[in-house]
Each structure stands twice: as C-alpha cells, then as structure tokens.
Amino acid sequence: MQEIYEKESKESHEKQKELREKDKEPYDYVSKVILVGESSVGKTNILSMYSKGEFNASSKSTLGVEFTSKTLFVKDINLKMQIWDTAGQERFRAVTNSFYKNSSGAFVVFDLTRFSSFNAIDTWIKDLKETAGEKIIIILIGNKSDLEDHRAVTTEEAKMKASSYSKLI
Ligand SMILES: Nc1nc2c(ncn2[C@@H]2O[C@H](COP(=O)(O)OP(=O)(O)OP(=O)(O)O)[C@@H](O)[C@H]2O)c(=O)[nH]1
Ligand SMILES: [Mg+2]
C-alpha cells in the first residue's frame, strides 16, 4: 500500500511540474483552485462549461487530476486561475489529496439528485482543510439543478449545510 502511495505521489508531482512548464502565459498573480466531490457529480462538466462553454452528456470519469488555466483581467491585473479538476473515485484519493496543497480556494461539488454525494461534503471539506489549511476559501456547488423531478436535496438542507460552514452556495 505504502509503495502504491509513493508511486502515485511521485507521479502527481511530476505531472504538476510538467503542466506548470507548459503553462507559460504571462500573468501578475496566480491563484490555484481545486474542484472536489464524489464521482459523477459533474465537476469536469462544470469546468468545461466555464472554460470552453461545452457540456458533454457522456463524459468519462476523470483519472487522477486534470488541469485548466484561465487568465482574467481583474482591477488592472492579470489573474491566472489554475483550476485542478480531480477524480472523485475512491481509488484516486491518495493522488488527488496530494494536489490540495497550496490551493487558495476549492469548489466542493455535490449532485442535487444524489443525497449520498451531499452527505459526503463533510469529508471533502475536512480533507481539504487538513491539507490546504483552515484558511482555504470553500464554495459549495449543488449541481444538476435541471433534473428537478429527481431532486433529492432540498434548498433548505443545502442552505443549512452551507450556513453550518458559513460559506456561499
Ligand atoms: N443533467 C445534468 N447532467 C450533468 C450535469 N453535470 C454533469 N452531468 C452529467 O453527469 C455525468 C458525470 O459528469 P462529470 O462531469 O464527468 O462528473 P465528475 O464529477 O467529473 O466525475 P469524476 O471525474 O468521476 O469525479 C455525465 O454524464 C454528465 O453529462 C448537469 O448539470 N445536469
Ligand atoms: Mg471528472
């Protein structure tokens, strides 16, 4: 087990380095943001909608971690957002955890039609804070709001969870 962890950790660090080298656009500030949550809640689609305006109804599960960057011009500065889309599957947990470090913000995503993904939020937040620190800014996202007939988490429940952490929703 230890051996597998060390191998995955090494691979993740090498991947981070390689991606950073590819990502040479000029910027004033860089901010690392991470997307986490159970598998299939829609993290990859949220990111592809944001970065390319594309939705994929049959997207494949993310393996490990994927990286996207977007530079925003905010208050006269170029702010580079490095957005890390992580795999929700349990088998990638060790490798995705190693990417939490140095994140300034995180989107914790759940699926409004799957209560278990909502229940899992507490564990995601606990793990994020343990690795990235208590100061990390966390935003909860209840995804798949279009599937109103299959909704399993009420707005009240989501609001209560968010206010228990005093975070945005
Ligand atoms: N109806 C609906 N389907 C969605 C929405 N977002 C994602 N999906 C679908 O949900 C499935 C999973 O989406 P992904 O974006 O791959 O999920 P993920 O969280 O990245 O999953 P992992 O990579 O395994 O962690 C896909 O079939 C998507 O098309 C949404 O807002 N509404
Ligand atoms: Mg994904």
73 belongs to a structural domain = yes
Nearest-angstrom CA–CA distance, 115 and 118: 5
* Digitized pLDDT (tens) for each residue of the chain, 169 residues in all: 445 445 555 666 676 666 666 666 678 888 999 999 999 999 999 999 998 999 999 989 999 999 999 888 888 899 999 999 999 999 999 999 999 999 999 999 999 999 999 999 999 999 999 999 999 999 999 999 999 999 999 999 999 999 998 755 5
| CATH assignment of the domain containing 52 | 3.40.50.300
16 belongs to a structural domain = yes
Nearest-angstrom CA–CA distance, 33 and 125: 14
21 belongs to a structural domain = yes
Domain count, the chain: 1
168 belongs to a structural domain = no
89 belongs to a structural domain = yes
169 belongs to a structural domain = no
Query: Domain range holding 76?
Result: 2-163
pLDDT at 28: 86
143 belongs to a structural domain = yes
Q: Ligand 1 pocket test: which of 35, 39, 40, 62 has the largest number of ligand atoms within 8 Å of its C-beta?
A: 40
